[in-house]
Structures are given as structure tokens and as C-alpha cells.
Amino acid sequence: MRGIPNDLRMVQWFLDLPKLQELMGWPVGAERLVSAGQDVHRLSKQEPGDAEEIAKAWNRLGGAIGPALLGTLMTCDHWRELVPPVSGPSGDDEETVWMGGGKSVVARMVYDNRRPINVVFDAR
């Protein structure tokens, strides 16, 4: 890496390290990760919220970081730091990630031997 990299290039360099990619099991794009994370945060706090757009943003985030990392994020509850408090239904394979105006966004998780392997977000 020549010169002083900008923040995203520095993060991308880190994410491209072979050992880290092996652990994540997915090539993570820093720019896509930041953009999708910002969209989830912004859209979830917007009044009135749009469940369809919020679900799309969550699915973009999943595409940016991959199913294993997203599944881990969902099971450790750190995702709650991105969005307003949510008190909707949750269970082993579903988690409400947003509620507003009679609508909600639900994460449906798929596991393989208790390891999350996929997460899909739907507006309801």
C-alpha cells in the first residue's frame, strides 16, 4: 500500500487479509459494509419508517458481510446498536429488527448445527 490510505482503503486492506477472509468465510467489501450499515441506521430511525426499504437495507448489509458474519451479529445482539429499541417477537429462528406504523421487519435465521449460515430480512 503506497502512501497514506484513506479510511476505507485501510479497512479494506485489513478485510482482505487471507487469514481474516478465511475466518469470515466471505469477501467483505468495506464500502458496501459502511454504506449498508449507514442505511440500516438511517432508515430505521426515519419517521415514518418504510419497512420494505429497511428490509432491503438489512439484506444489503448481509450481502456485504456474508451469511456467517451476519448470523453471528444477529445472535450476539450487537445489531441493536444500529437501530431504535425493538420489543417485537423473537425466537430461535426469528428476530424482529424494526417496528413502526403497524409494520415490522423480521430476520429469519437458518442454522447448521447451531451455527448461523443464512439470514433473510422480510417486511411484514
- Judge whether residue 3 has pLDDT over 80: no
Residue type, 29: G
| Gap between the Cα atoms of 24 and 28, Å rounded | 8
- Judge whether residue 75 has pLDDT over 60: yes
- Alpha helix segments (H runs only) across the chain: 7-15, 18-24, 30-45, 51-65, 67-75
Query: What mean pLDDT is predicted for residues 96-110?
Result: 93
Q: What is the pLDDT of residue 2?
A: 59
Q: What is the pLDDT of residue 4?
A: 53
Query: What mean pLDDT is predicted for residues 63-83?
Result: 88
Residue-averaged pLDDT of the chain? 89
Model confidence at 88, in pLDDT bands (50, 70, 90)? low
| Gap between the Cα atoms of 105 and 107, Å rounded | 7
Q: What is the pLDDT of residue 117?
A: 75
Residue type, 59: N
| Gap between the Cα atoms of 119 and 69, Å rounded | 10
Global pTM value = 0.86
